[in-house]
Each structure stands twice: as C-alpha cells, then as structure tokens.
Amino acid sequence: MQANRDRLRQIVDEKSLIIGQDMTLSAGLSSSFYFDCKKITLNGEGLALLADVLLEEIDKFPERPSAIGGLTLGADFMVAAVVMRAHQIGHPTINGSIVRKEPKQHGTRSHIENEMPRGTRIVVVDDVITTGGSTAKACEQLLKGGYEIVGILALVDREAGGVENLRREYGCNVHSIFKKSDFPRIAAG
C-alpha cells in the first residue's frame, strides 16, 4: 500500500496544493499555501487511492468502527468512496453519515444524513485539519446523535495545532495521511 500513499501524495502535491497567493482558510486565518482537496476527491484516481488508504488507516484503530462520517462538504466524497470501496473488496461493512452545517429544513429535518443507532462506533473524516474547528463541529453533532467516536482521520494536517486540539477534546486517535511537512514545495515557497 506504500505505492498507493506515494501516488496519492504526488496527486495532492500536483493537483491540490496551491502556493504563492494569499488564501483565507475556513478557520478565518490567512495563508500563503492552500490544499484544495476537492481536486482530489473529485478526481477518479485520487478518490480511489484515498478510499484505499483511508480503509488501511481505519483498520489500524483498536476499536473497529461500523461507520464513517464527517461535516459536509469536506467529508462527503471521502465517506461515499470508503463505503463503496469497503463493499467492493468485501471489507467488513462500513456505513456512512454526513453532518449538515444546519438541520435540514424539510422532510426529516435532520442534522445528520443517514443517522444510525445510538452507540454506533464511527471514525470522523475531514479533508484538511487546521485548527480542528470544522472537524469538531461534526464530532459535536455526532456525539449529540449518540455516536461513539473511535477516531478522527484527515487527508492533510496543516500542522497548526488542530490534531492536538481534537485529540485533547475527544480523547481518541487522531491521524492524518499527510502533513504539511510532507510537501517540500511549501517550505520552498
């Protein structure tokens, strides 16, 4: 699987990483580099590789989750890809849930799409972690829904304290596939 990780890192570097222009992050901070991860999750090869690598990471957790979920829009494609890939390869069933930013205003009026029974063990995913704020929003809604968070996974950790914040707040394993320091072009500026 190292070949999958290496190729995924290359795709993130080539397609997702934007350097040299001021960008505003979801946390409100300004940065001279940005990871546009939709360029990965809306790319066939990138999404397939990401699903395989996420499943590999999920299998490392001491408690096996039966669900994967996160905050829309960063987690949507990741969740769908993992659910589908797990089914395709005969992996133990993993179902998906997506946390809305606001409750649905019609139908079920749910804050969580595909809500599962209380006690469902879930791994929360996000495309990028900076301060951890977006991921924490998902975690809070999932906890209110009765889920048990067994881990948090991100595609990229910007190494801005978010992983530590989430680990401290939720007391679970928090990992990223890649870190800012895995991309030498950032340091080169």
Q: Which residue, 134, 171, 176, 138, is CA-closest to 158? A: 176
Distance CA 177, CA 175 (A): 7
* pLDDT of res. 21: 87
Reduced to 3 states, what is the DSSP secondary structure of residue 43?
A: coil
* pLDDT of res. 106: 82
Q: What is the pLDDT of residues 51-73, one digit of tens each?
A: 999 999 999 999 999 999 999 99
Q: What is the dihedral of CA 130, 159, 64, 113, to 10 degrees?
A: 10
Are the C-beta atoms of residues 118 and 97 closer than 8 Å to each other? no
- The single residue listed with the structure tokens 């929003």 is 137
CATH fold of the domain at 2-188 = Rossmann fold (3.40.50)
pTM of the full structure: 0.95
* pLDDT of res. 68: 98
* pLDDT of res. 189: 65
Q: Which residue, 43, 34, 38, is CA-closest to 7? A: 43
Distance CA 30, CA 26 (A): 9
* pLDDT of res. 20: 87
**Exposed / middle / buried, residue 182 (Cβ in 10 Å: 0-12, 13-18, 19+):** middle
Are the C-beta atoms of residues 30 and 22 closer than 8 Å to each other? yes
pLDDT lower than 50: segments of the chain = none
